[in-house]
Amino acid sequence: MASGSFILWLHGLGDSGPANEPIKSVVTSRQLANTRWSFPSAPVQPVMCNRFRVRVLVLLILS
C-alpha cells in the first residue's frame, strides 16, 4: 500500500463542506497525488455576531 496524505478542510462561518470541494481541482501539485480529502459540514448554530441569524459554527475539540 502506497503512503499518502489526508487533508481535513474546515469551512468558515456560514459555509458548508460540500461548497468547498472544488478546491481539490485547484490544488494540482504532484506531491498531493495520493491525498485523501474530507469536507465535513458543521452543525447550524445561531451566533451573536450576526444578530442571532442562523450560521454554521465550527467547534474544534483537540485533545
Question: Is the pLDDT score of 51 beyond 70?
Answer: no
Q: How confident is the model at residue 56 (pLDDT cuts 50, 70, 90)?
A: low
What's the CA gap between 40 and 60, in Å, rounded?
12
What average pLDDT does range 35-51 have in this prediction? 81
Does residue 38 fall inside a structural domain? yes
- Domain-located, residue 15: yes
State yes or no: pLDDT of 55 exceeds 50.
yes
pLDDT computed for residue 54 by the predictor: 60
Q: Is residue 29 part of a domain?
A: yes
Bridge partners (DSSP) of residue 54 are 46
Number of compact structural domains in the chain? 1
Mean local confidence (pLDDT), 21-29:
85
In a domain, 11, yes or no: yes
- Does residue 62 form part of some domain? no
- Does residue 34 form part of some domain? yes
Evaluate whether residue 49 is within a structural domain.
yes
Task: Of 9-13, 22-26, 38-42, 49-53, give the lowest mean pLDDT range.
Answer: 49-53
| Domain region containing 37 | 5-56
